[in-house]
Structure formats: C-alpha cells, structure tokens
Structure 1
Amino acid sequence: MTIRLPRSGVRARTTLIAVVVLTLALALANVMVIVLLSWSLDKATTQDARSAGRQVANELAKQGTRDLTPSDVASSGDAASMIQVLDANGVPVASDPAIVGYPALTPARPVPGQDVVETTTIRVNGSKQDYRLVVRGVNGPGGPYTVISARSLAPVTEASTRLTLLLGLAAVPMLAISAFAGYRAVGSALKPVEQMRRTVAEISTRDLSLRVGLPPGNDEVHRLATTLNSMLDRLASTQEAQRRFVADASHELRSPLNTITTALEVSEHHPETMSTGELLGVVSQETARLRELVDDLLLLARTDDATDNPVRTEVDLDDLAHAEAERARAGVKLRVEIRTEPAKVRGNAAQLRRAIRNLVDNAREHTHGQIRVCTYTMDGMAVVEVSDDGPGVPPADQERIFERFVRRDDSRQRRVGGSTGLGLAIVAGIAARHGGRARYVNVADEEYPGAHFRIELPLEVAA
C-alpha cells in the first residue's frame, strides 16, 4: 500500500526553500572563510620556517659549523618547531633535541641559495604529525650544508577545525531564526490572499455583488485582487445575461403555446366559431414557430459551448453567399443583386451557411424590394456584406441589434415567416467562433439606403 503524504502549504514550501538557499549560502561562505584562514595560516607557517632556517643558514655561511651551538637549532622545548643541519654527505651535524639521532628529514638537496618547500609526516615523541619543511642550500666554511627548518601543521589543522565547528554552531540558530522570520513574513504577505479567499468563499451564485478588498501597493497581490474583481464582474454580467436570456426565451416560448392553448379551448367550447381546418392551421403555424425557436436556441448553445469543435475545412464564402442569394431570389418576387469575389476561409461550412442565410433572411424581411449580397477581401479579412433598401436600423439600436431577442420595431409584424429575435445573435456567435465578427455599418448608398450588415472572417492562408 502506498502512503501519500499531504503536500505542504505555500508558507512551509517557501520557508523550506529559503532555509535551503540560506544553508547553501552559509556553507559556501563558511568554506571560503575556512579555506582563506587555512591558506593564511599555512603561508605564515611556511614563512616562519623559512625565517628560522635563514638565520641558521646565515651563521653557517659565515663560520660553518665551528661556532654552531645547540641553542641555534633548538626549539622552545616542544616539537612544533625543529631545525636540522646536514653536511655535504647528508649526515646530520646539528639537530633539534626532539630529533637528535634522526636521519635526514628529507632527501631534497637544493643548491646553495635556493629553497625547497615540502610537506611530510614525521613521528616525533611517539606521534605522527604533518610538518612544513623549508630546505635551503648553504655554501660556507667546511660546506656545503643543507638547513632543514620544520614547522608543525597541527596548529593550522586545529584552528581550521575549531573555526569549522564554531561556524557550524553559529549557523544553527541563524537558520532557526531565519526560518521563523521567513515563515512569519510569508504568512504576513499571504494574509491579503487569505482575506480574498474568505471573501470569495462568501460569494454565492445568487448574489455576485460582493467584491474583494484591494490591498495597498501595486504588487502581485494587488493585481490578483483586481483580476478577481474583474472576473466577478464578468460572472455577474454573464449571470445577468443568462437570466435575461432565460426570461426572454420563456416569454418567446409562452407566446405560441398560449396561442395554441387558446385555439384549442375555443375549438372545444365554441366549435361553431372555429373549424377544424382553421384550428389545424393555427396549431401548425405556432408549432413551426416553436420548432424554429428551439432550433435557434440549440444553435446558440452550440456557439456558446467552447468545447464544441465542429469539423473545419476550407470554405468558399463566395459560393455560400451566391447560393443563399439565389435562394432568396427564387423565394419571392424580389430583386437580388449578387456581387461575389473569391474569399476563402477555414471553418464549418454548415454554420457559415446559416450565418449568411440569417443575414439574407433579415434583409428580405425588411426590404422594400431589393437586396444586395457581396463578398470581397479587405485587410486580410474575408467579408460578406448584405444590404437592403428598407428603413435601416436607428443609431440607438445599431450596437444592440446583435443581442439576443432584440428586434427592430418593424419586425414585430413578422412579415416573412416570423422572427425569433435570435437570427442576428446567431450570426454574431458563429462569426466569433470563427475568429471574426459581425457588425452593422453605416454606408452612404442611394440605391440601398437601408441596413448594411457584414461578417468579417480571417482569410485562409495558403500553405
């Protein structure tokens, strides 16, 4: 059985990361300090050995070993500092009392005037120690000679060890204090976020009027609060639009249902006032209105659904526009002008055909006798434009004409097969799903002084 430990929170993870980084930084700093100290002590030890050896070498250069006394090579009584003098054959002629009787400490024999620095291990007083040797060649009476000055490295090692222990002990409380301070600091920084979380948790789907407070400053937390409020504004706007949509849809559905119910009641209670044929005509007409409304609602739902990805292919907008214009021309006595230029886009042909058909049907519904259907390209966009010679759209309605269940005043007569108030909303939704837009344009055109609607879609780029 696998046991999964719960993930730690942001405060704990942030504090842990900070402590790890601080630990690495302290370790690096401590290593540098210890290395520098060891290097400095090592250099000083070598310099001390060289100085002591040169003093003896100067005496040998002047008088040889004739006046060389034991005190000249004797240390302070311990094995930390020792000197050994060798003759030309490498035999010790004078040695520190600690190493009397020892053979030569090193086989190095530098020429007179030169030094050789070595590190070796020597057993003195029953224990082995590392020594720094400075070997110097001397040319004097009875010479040449070799002076070996040795300095123990134990003080260097001991100092480095003590400093390492001291720095390690000092780092423990430093890390503990840093962890505590970091944990509190992160908690203080996240306090506004926790307040925002509590505020958002109190917001219900029925009331989206509550907003999170904006913390001072212009940092990431402030921008997060601003983003949350913007999201809540969008949710509230979407909720209000959804409520209006449901209310409008309910009203639209109620109207044909009321008409059918009234006709049935009249036929049942007053059969002499309505024949069976008249009843069937009313029911058939209102049922068609219901079917049209339901189909439009389903299509709008699909255009709003971001997960709905219909098959997209290369589509010739000019062919679709030409076909819909010919359909409008064949349906009623209407003058239809067709001006199509090649315009290729990538999209779903069925949806694009529905969008163009809605614009053509809208123009047919409001025209006085002629409409125009055009396709062309402009600024990297494929454009479908449908114009009519009707009353046009008042400036106050030109922005909201693409909203759902919005009708122009003259459309309330439902002259051409009725209107659900969703046709232009469907056009806008399909255009948006294809990366374009639908819009109303004001065009000074004497022949077509009415409405001018456009669908603008990105052109298909040739591979």
Structure 2
Amino acid sequence: MSAVWTRLGVRIRTTVVAVAAVAAAIVVAGAAVVLLLGWSLDRSTTEDARSAGRQVAHEIAREGARELTGADVASSGDSASVLQVLDAQGQVITADPALAGLPPLTPVRPAPGHEVVETVSVTVNGSGEDYRLVSAGVAGPGGPYTVVSARSLAPVTEALTRLSLLFAAAALPLLAISALTVYRAVGSALRPVERMRRTVSEITTRDLERRVDVPPGRDEVQRLAVTLNSMLDRLASAQGAQRRFVSDASHELRSPVNTVVTALEVAEHHPEAMSKDELVAVVSRETSRLRELVDDLLLLARTDDATDHPPSGEVDLDDLARAEAERARATVGPKVEIRTEPVKVTGNAAQLRRAIRNLVDNAREHAAERIRVCTRAEGTTAVVEVSDDGPGVPAADRDRIFERFVRRDDARHHGAPGTGGSAGLGLAIVAGIAARHGGSAECTDSTDPVYPGAAFRIRLPSRRQP
C-alpha cells in the first residue's frame, strides 16, 4: 500500500490528503449541526407536549375531569399531538379520539405538581411511531389525576434526515471543487520546480555555468533554487579544482619522465657523454621521485574518498610527535626542541604520523637553526604545533599554502624531501589528513621570539578520558 501511495506523486497525494481533510471537516461540521438541530427540535417537542398538557391540567384543577370529553382534549385532527387523562387507579377517563380504545400510554403516576418526561413507541391510527410523553400529576375535584401529553418525534427524525441528505448532496460538489482547486494550486506551486528540473537536466559537465532561475518570495521553492545554485557553484568549483589538479599532476609526472627519457636518449645516441653509472643514478633518482609523487597522489585521493575507512583507534598523539621529533633530531640539521603533553585522539595512527612527519620535515627544510615540536590540550581539542626560526609565511599565503601544487617564490617555496613537498603536496596532505579526522590545519606566526618563523598547527578533537 505504501509503495502504491508513493508512486502516486506529490500532486495527487496532496490532492487526496486535502480532499480527505475537507471531507472530514464537512463530516464534523455536519454532525455538529445535525446534533445541535436535533437537540433544539427535541427540546421544542418536549415544550410543545408540556404546553398542551398544561392547558388541560389547569381545567382539571378547577373543575375536575368528570365533565371532560374526548373533544375537550382532542387536537385539531393531527395525530402528531395526543392526550390522555387518567384517574387515580390509572384508568383512562378521557382521551384524544386518535387514542380511542387504547390502554394508558405510560405506567408512571407522578404526584400532583410533578411530571415525568419519557419517550415511548405508540401506535396511532395503525402506525407505530416514537412519541415524547410528558406525564403531569394534577390535584383536582375527584382527583388526583394524571395528564399524559404525547408529541410525535417523527417530524424531528424527518427534519434531521433531510438535513443529513442535504449535507451529503452539498459535500459532493464541494469535494470536487476542492480537489480541482488543490490539484491546480499544487501544479502551479510545483511549476517552478519543474522548470528547475528541466534546467538541471540540461546542465552537463561541459556547461556548469548555467544556473536555475530563483523565483520571487521567501518560501521552500525559493530556498530550493538557492540551494541548487549553491550546489552547482560547488560542482563547478570542484570541477575546476579537479582539472587544475589533473593538469598540475600531469605536469609534475611529466618532469621526471622527461628527465629519464632525455637521459636514455643521450646514453643511446651519445654514449661518450654519459656513463652507465651516471645513467643509473639519474634514472634511480627520477624513478624514486616519481614513486613518491604517485604515493602522495594516492594518499590525497584516499583522504578525499568518503567511502574509504582506514583502521581507527585510540592514538597517543604526543607519542607520535615525540617519535618524529626524535627522528629529526637524529639527523644532521637544525636543533630540535621537544615539548609534549599527553593527548589522545581517535584516528588512524599511520595517517596521523604522516601528517606530523610532513610538518617536521617542512620545518627542517626552512629552519635557520632550530625547530620545536610540541603537543598540548586546549579544552576538547588536541593540538600539535611545529615551529621554526625560518623566514615565515606571509599572511596572504597562509591559507593558500595548504592547497595542492602550490609553490611560492620566496625562501619557503621548496618542499621537504620525501614529503611530496617538492611538488607542493606535503602541506596539502597534512590538511587532508586533519580534515579526515574531524580537525583542521593552520599556519600562523610564532609568538615565541626564539622561533620567529612559521608555526604550523594540527587541531583534532581529543578523546575523552574515562
């Protein structure tokens, strides 16, 4: 049933729901009107019966019932209203001619001054109907007496039936009008959505500059158009970034390949210009560079792939930072200062180690004499900071430096060996790994006068300690 309902479409489903709501409103309103009218007619019937019986009761109270005849209590020939007068033993003294020969209509005998209202079925003129009975006790000469005034409820039932049929007859055109109105209104409301759909269906990867028309008004359709245009902007931006990435990657891959090809051609055509050992050295160096570049590109692709889920667990970030700092300290280069506080995060240890290593190698490449590696906790954030006393990074380049294949023309344009930095990928890998772990990477000026260069930080959500 749910599958069939889903296949009906928004327009038909909305129309069905609206018509059902209107039908429910008509039913509720009709029932309320019928009930109120029935209550009003019921009270009116009771009052009419009471009023007819009260007139006879006044006459009996003055003169008694012995002189009363059927003509005195008879209605104007309408069997809808009839009376009986009973004596103290419950015998019929006089009655409306329509009730001639019938026993008492009710067994109740109210005391003088009291009355009893009830509904009974009475056969009058061969036809059985429900009557509203008002039985009143009367004290008079020769009494007491009981005056039973009966009023037919058939007119009430007939009026309510006619009103119900009238509501039912009026409901059909109302529902039809409601269905047509809602169907057309929903179609009109969805018309801009259909235009958006056609526009989006015509947009291809070669034409991402088109945008959908934004309708006037601040409603869901207008917000949908804005969202679609925003999505198209992101797609166009992503496509441009992808094209630039492919172009830059092709350029970077072409460089070592061209070097190898050139060396091979020189060795083939001019063997006296390059020895075998020199050829092997060139090919080995460029092949190593090519392998590192491919590895970095694959790592960047994995950081961008939301479906890739590497093993994750608790990681001591301070242990990783200390290990990378010790590795840098063991090599010839700047002095390395280590300041680590215990911080734990959740993530992939290999990727986090790679990010910290890239920062450390980048600092070693550009430091004058010293670098510093530290970890600390800032509230619920774990921070790894690598500072150096190098030339620093201008404020205009601090965001751009984390983009892929970005090179600068100053003293910090060279990358660190083995980090992908020579191709401008080292810091891009750092940013990608940080984002993959729910954090971020940033570059600022160091606030320590001993390390006046750049300060690179990785911020990650810290793991809660039990």
Question: Which category describes the TM-score, using the shorter chain as reference length?
Answer: over 0.9
Residue 425 of structure 2 aligns to which amino acid in structure 1? L
What letter is aligned with 2:308?
D
Contact 2:361/2:416 (<8 A) preserved: no
Task: Show the 5 A alignment for 1:268-283.
Answer: 268-283=268-283
Aligned to 1:373: 373
Note closer, same or farther for the CA distance 1:164–1:242 as it changes in structure 2 (3 Å cut): same
Residue 143, structure 1, aligned to residue 147, structure 2:
no
Cα deviations by residue, 1:188-230 (Å, 9 ceiling, x for unpaired):
1111111111111111111111111111111111111111111
Asked if 2 retains the 8 angstrom alpha-carbon contact of 1:115 and 1:135, the reply is yes
Q: Counterpart of 2:373 in 1: which secondary structure?
A: strand
Residue 265 of structure 1 aligns with an amino acid whose one-letter code is E
- Other-structure match for 1:19: 19
The aligned counterpart of 2:393 is: 393
Is 1:355 the counterpart of 2:352 in the alignment?
Answer: no
Instruction: Tell me the equivalent position of 2:237.
Output: 237
Whole-Å Cα distance in 2 between the matches of residues 403 and 161 of structure 1? 80
- When residues 195 and 276 of structure 1 are mapped into structure 2, their CA distance, relative to the original with a 3 A threshold, is same
* Unaligned runs of at least 5 residues, structure 1: none
Q: Residue 203 in 1 paired to residue 203 in 2?
A: yes
SS in 2 for 1:76: coil
SS of residue in 1 equivalent to 2:330: helix
* Alignment of 1:425 onto 2:453: no
- Does residue 441 (structure 1) correspond to residue 453 (structure 2)? The answer is no
After TM superposition, give the deviation of residue 413 of structure 1 in Å.
5.8
Aligned twin of 2:168:
168
Deviations 1:235-272 (A, max 9, x none): 11111111101101010000000001101111111111
The alpha carbon displacement at 1:63 in A equals 0.5
Q: Which residue of 2 aligns with 1:30?
A: 30
Task: For 2:218 and 2:403, locate their aligned partners in 1 and report how far apart those are by CA, in whole Å.
Answer: 37
SS of 1:393's equivalent in the other structure is coil
Identify the residue that residue 299 of structure 2 maps to in structure 1.
299
Aligned residue type for 1:240: G
Rounded to whole Å, the distance in 2 between the matches of 1:267 and 1:374 is: 50
TM-superposed deviation, 1:416:
3.9
Is the CA contact 1:411–1:419 (under 8 Å) kept in the aligned structure 2?
A: no
Which residue of the partner structure matches residue 462 of structure 1?
465
Give distance in 1, aligned partners of 2:414 and 2:57.
126
* Residue 123 of structure 1: how far off its partner (Å): 1.4
Q: Structure 1 residue 389: deviation in Å?
A: 2.0
Residue 120 of structure 2 contacts residue 132 of structure 2 at CA under 8 Å; is this kept in 1? Answer: yes
Structure 1: how far apart are the matches of 2:214 and 2:333?
63
Question: Residue type of the partner of 1:426?
Answer: I
Higher mean Cα deviation, 4-13 or 185-194? 4-13
Provide the residue aligned with 1:73 in structure 2.
73
Length-normalised TM-score, structure 1 = 0.96
Correspondence 1:99-248 to 2 at 5 A: 99-248=99-248
- For the residue of structure 2 that corresponds to 1:182, the secondary structure is helix
Identify the residue that residue 265 of structure 1 maps to in structure 2: 265
CA contact (8 A) 2:38 2:156 kept: yes
In structure 2, C-alpha distance between the alignment counterparts of 1:447 and 1:306, rounded to whole Å? 41
The structural deviation recorded for 1:287 is 0.6
Identity %: 69
Counterpart for residue 89 of structure 2: 89
The separation in 1 between residues aligned to 2:35 and 2:256, in whole angstroms, is 93
Counterpart Cα distance in 1 of 2:379 and 2:313? 22
Amino acid at match of 1:311: P
Match of 1:65, SS? coil
8 Å contact kept, 1:196–1:225: yes
> What SS does structure 2 have at the residue aligned with 1:116?
strand
Supply the AA of the counterpart residue of 2:258. Answer: N
| Bigger mean CA offset, 441-450 vs 251-260 | 441-450
**Deviation per CA, 1:334-356, whole angstroms, max 9, x where unpaired?**
31111111111111111110000
TM-score by length of 2: 0.96
Secondary structure in 2 matching 1:217? coil
Q: What's the RMSD between the two structures over aligned residues?
A: 1.6
Instruction: State the Cα distance separating 1:411 from its structure 2 match.
Output: 5.6
1:290 has 2:293 as partner:
no
